[in-house]
A and B are shown apart, each in its own frame.
Chain A
């Protein structure tokens, strides 16, 4: 028994000896991101590089854009990664964020049944929405004030239609109040149109029976930004680590890694950088 105990102690010493040799423990960054970024897998892909090159360990919480900004205001995050430009600008203007850096973009796409009942192929997003409305083809909205939902509302505004009237017209407009995955599933089940980010759509494509109908129209551009939370306004946030993370994400090296992401898995670039 005594011998067993001694050998156990020796083992423990050896184990702890291993960790002593490592460099200083990684700093933790509480990063709150919108669901679509998280679902795309981009951050998991970048995580080892970030840990290696900046010694920052990401603690990622994935929330809808509205809740993500709210988490920032409450000090539940050190940095945010979001794609709701209008809401982000207000957020920074109100002093919650130090600054907002747009670092990558991609395009939303309109997906729908392969028969394209509303005949929207090759149109701009606004024209497509107009035709969907006049044809009363089923359209599924996220309906959750997410970045994607904000984009959808912005496109409805571009059509010149009364956005409020459209969103309450239950004859074709279905407000799902759900995440992107659940909304895509619903669009597929109901053979309806919906607006989605490309990354989430590609990751679920094999399980869905809807296709991309409108893509890369200029009014479908989707900007992603990093916001460092302002320590003067929000208490208990780690601004140094957040700044280090931001600096790395904006570096040539990171932008190159981001631009390469998705090419081997999907054969397409998921995020573009400038």
Chain B
């Protein structure tokens, strides 16, 4: 029982870290991509949309090769560790958040820029206002990223190694139980994973509603 509890804790620990790291960079970047009219920004939009759909094992093999003994960062001895899992998850979650953030900007962009221009709001402040304007959509984007990180199997298996007491997370534990033919344990873990995801989403949405006081939401 304690072992299952530890597995759940590891899952939450790595997925929360990777989602937070990814979100800190991906949200402002996504807003910028949506707002900017520069050619590079326009070109980058479809790039991130397609990166969001990339197979996660590709992120896994990239991180694996980087951190492997023979790889450029092999001396850090980070393969089969939690930071390795976090790195792979950041690679998976970052484009996903970017790709779900920039489309939020597009429908309100014209009105928003006009207002900013009229009120003479400096560029730096624009992003902050946009942030509060779109907070509900941004929250949904970040939660989507978190869900993706929690659900990831292949990449986590590759770079984490599914090591007992160390890098075993819920999804890799489910794979292991399934491979052993312990289908009921696997299913129980799956349902636990679902319940945890549900509670976190429910909690965050609830908190956000109270803070926002926005009649529209």
A60 in contact (CB, < 8 A): no
B157 touches A64 (CB 8 A): no
Cβ < 8 Å to A, chain B residues 34-84:
68-69, 79-80
A176 in contact (CB, < 8 A): yes
**Residue among A63, A67, A168, A188 with the most chain B CB within 10 A?**
A67
The residue from A69, A71, A145, A170 contacting B166, defined by CB atoms under 8 A apart: A170
The residue from B157, B164, B179, B182 contacting A175, defined by CB atoms under 8 A apart: B164
Shortest CB distance B164–A (Å): 4
Collect the chain B residues with CB atoms within 8 Å of residue A175's CB: 163-165
Given A178-B157, A182-B157 in contact, is the A67-B178 Cβ separation under 8 Å?
A: yes
A59 in contact (CB, < 8 A): no
Shortest CB distance A161–B (Å): 18
B180 in contact (CB, < 8 A): yes
B164 touches A177 (CB 8 A): yes
Q: Which residue of B lies closest to A188 (CB)?
A: B69
B172 in contact (CB, < 8 A): yes
Q: Mark B91-120, 1 if CB is under 8 A from A, else 0.
A: 000000000000000000000000000000
Collect the chain A residues with CB atoms within 8 Å of residue B68's CB: 189
Collect the chain B residues with CB atoms within 8 Å of residue A67's CB: 178-181
Shortest CB distance B72–A (Å): 15
B interface, over-half SS: loop
**Residue among A168, A178, A179 with the most chain B CB within 10 A?**
A178
Collect the chain B residues with CB atoms within 8 Å of residue A179's CB: 179
A143 in contact (CB, < 8 A): yes
Interface size range of chain B in the complex: 20 to 34
Given A189-B79, A190-B80 in contact, is the A64-B163 Cβ separation under 8 Å?
A: no
B164 touches A69 (CB 8 A): no
A63 touches B179 (CB 8 A): yes
Given A189-B68, A189-B79, A190-B80 in contact, is the A178-B161 Cβ separation under 8 Å?
A: yes
B140 in contact (CB, < 8 A): no
B80 touches A186 (CB 8 A): yes
Q: Mark B161-176, 1 if CB is under 8 A from A, else 0.
A: 1111110100011001
Q: Mark A138-155, 1 if CB is under 8 A from B, else 0.
A: 000001111000000000
B69 touches A189 (CB 8 A): yes
A144 touches B80 (CB 8 A): no
Q: Which residue of A lies closest to B166 (CB)?
A: A170
B183 in contact (CB, < 8 A): yes
The residue from A168, A176, A188, A190 contacting B162, defined by CB atoms under 8 A apart: A176
A249 in contact (CB, < 8 A): no
A174 touches B163 (CB 8 A): yes
B181 touches A176 (CB 8 A): no
Which residues of A are interface residues toward B (Cβ below 8 A)? 63-64, 66-71, 143-146, 168, 170, 174-179, 182, 186, 188-190, 209
Q: Shortest 6 CB-CB distances between A and B: which pairs? A: A70-B181, A175-B164, A66-B180, A67-B181, A177-B162, A177-B176
17 contacts between A and B (CB under 8 A): A67-B180, A69-B181, A144-B180, A174-B166, A175-B163, A175-B164, A176-B161, A176-B163, A177-B162, A177-B163, A177-B176, A178-B157, A179-B179, A182-B157, A189-B69, A189-B79, A209-B69
